[in-house]
Structure 1
């Protein structure tokens, strides 16, 4: 099927010989993020079953995510700054074109081993209770990505974490808010620090990035975008192949 990118939603019904049916749905991200997309599909499913008692109607007022007047960004917003210059050797850069996809399943035991490494930090008194499992795992993945890419120690690398701003804004967005409320939580660090420092260092970088995403930062984020509407496509374009950066998303809370 050839997609028409002037449309905002796609629906494809597939009938199988066994009698089964699948429904595929595609949605333009300017209309809705993943949370709202699931809300749409689940509500549609409820209506199709005739279950109208538990429907949570969508909240369609997009003005809750508009910039202030006048816009007043208060942070540099490194998530929209040019990517750090790549310092990879030419042969390593060429090898990045041979991409593969892998799925890794981490058990609770393996996650506990990661957590236990915080106690082996060279004698420093680190309060591991303040770090979530996601922060520990994200920091570990960031370190491993730097090692696998064989990045030089002086190579800066950025981590971006997609976060749902609904509950972080003050006041929080109403239940059923329909739109795109995804923000980028950014962090930057030198590869040498991520790889050579104790395990807790990368995790603390992740933690600091997430803690920063409060109402002040998110409002500043919206103001920054308002001031750069003419170059918006450049600000949000995906990274190039061979990028030294990393994107991490977690759907645990949305799907759990």
Structure 2
């Protein structure tokens, strides 16, 4: 059934904010962090739910409530209903990109689709099945395409016994923190709605839309380009195996204790210990020569590192990547604690001074992130997303989701997407993307697999029943 089943789009519409956007908010300026994402893919994450039994008109009612709650959420997160605009002039020469949030935009796309497969068809295979990519809209779109494509697209796909809500969000508009804050608010509004849809629903945390610029810069950043072809590129993902590995809180605690004991410290975190374990394991599986340089890239949230800190509700992109580096020989000859300390140092030295230096350097010479140029798929590991995001707290009248899944976006060899574990408590799920031969080596690595609790997608801790 899996091989022959394809997603059928049943309906499509565009959702606007419930209320008009005030004139003062109709332009949303982009920061260095936002613009740097122009050539990467949209963020694609979604939640898989079990469909309630014996509920008449369930889908019709659900879609109606999703539509209305989305229109309310978009009023608070109004940049998601806009479109990107490039403004150019010859005298003096200027090239800048911003978001047009005016009320004449069509809004966010909303798709209802069906797929003749079951939850088990998705969760039982060892690898993430390719059909998961079809549960998202805007596959292969890059963020610069937001000039003509919606900045947010929701695809609701009804399965035989389940339902998947897939969200594709333009990364120039927000990062993972912003993505899940939006998702959390949408769920909060949905849950608070009564049967009547003629009233607003107050939200617990208002997004913060004043984007951060260093003193003397902004709100428009003048880019040294004359045409998009000078900086826009399209990364083509290779053929990869994608597999989710589950780590319990207990397993991660053991790795943390081991790393701190070996380096005689108490400063190495759970995430840094797990990152080091994964970095070493993938490098070992690749069978590289000892003199080959390798790196572990970690996405870092800038909000709490600024002085004063940016609000947690800061809506936009406020993330950098830091890298720990070593030769293959150093990585494999030293113990876990030595490697974890490398990751720890890379993360902790990324303070406000480093952030400001990085922004100033970018303003002098803007660099648009390009996976082909800025990441080595033969020796690099990239740890993205965060187990701190509230993923399983999103309920849309169907109880807790059974799984979090991601789409096509930004998958490269050595990419590791981190989710919070279904059972919570500090557990984590890691979706690892590798070439087939390297994945086989990783699966045969007892040192790696002994820390893994569930080796396919169908374990009870992922909620599958």
TM bucket (normalised to shorter chain) is 0.7 to 0.9
CA distance in 1, matches of 2:160, 2:258: 52
Is the 2:259–2:338 Cα contact (8 Å) retained in structure 1? no
* 1:37 to 2:179 alignment: yes
Match of 2:305 among 158, 168, 176: 168
Measure the CA separation in 2 of the matches of 1:26 and 1:175. 21
Residue equivalent to 1:56: 205
- Cα offsets for 1:114-138 (capped at 9, x unmatched): 34545885xxxx3331111111111
The 5 A counterparts of 1:89-238 are 99-115=240-256, 117-118=258-259, 121=262, 126-229=263-366, 232-233=367-368, 236-238=369-371
Q: Give 1:110 shift.
A: 3.5
d(CA) in 2 for partners of 1:164 and 1:252?
13
Aligned partners of 2:259, 2:164: CA distance in 1, in Å? 45
Which has the larger Rg?
2
Per-residue deviation, 1:67: 3.9
Structure 2: state its 5+ residue gaps. Answer: 1-8, 10-136, 194-199, 218-237, 391-419, 421-465
TM-score (norm 1): 0.74
- Note if contact 1:156-1:189 (Cα within 8 Å) is conserved in structure 2: yes
How far apart, CA to CA, are the structure 2 residues paired with 1:103 and 1:251?
Answer: 15
Distance 1:114 1:21, change over 3 A: closer
Paired residue for 1:47? 189
Could you give the per-residue CA deviations for residues 127-170 of structure 1, whole angstroms, max 9, x where no partner exists? 33111111111111111111111111111112110111111111
Residue 80 of structure 1 corresponds to: none
| TM-score normalised by L of structure 2 | 0.43
Give the paired residue count: 219
How far apart, CA to CA, are the structure 2 residues paired with 1:10 and 1:118?
42
Find the aligned partners of 2:316 and 2:310 in 1 and give their Cα distance.
Answer: 11
Q: CA deviation at 1:13?
A: 3.2
Q: Would you tell me which structure has more strand in proportion to its own residues?
A: 2
Deviations for 1:61-92, whole angstroms, at most 9, x for unmatched residues? 11x1x24548xxxxxxxxxxxxxxxxxxxxxx
1:238 to partner: Cα distance: 1.6
Q: Larger RCO: Structure 1 or Structure 2 (Cα < 8 Å, ≥ 6 residues apart)? A: 1
Give the 3-state SS of the residue equivalent to 2:278 in structure 1.
helix
CA contact (8 A) 2:260 2:337 kept: no
CA deviation map 1:228-255 (0-9, x unaligned): 22xx33xx11256843111013522222
| Pairwise CA RMSD | 2.8
1:243 to 371, 374, 378: 378
Q: Match of 2:183, SS?
A: helix
CA distance in 2, matches of 1:10, 1:176: 21
Question: Cα gap change, 1:109/1:177 in structure 2, threshold over 3 Å: closer, same or farther?
Answer: closer
Decide which structure has greater helix share: 1
Q: 1:254 is matched with which residue: 368, 386, 389?
A: 389
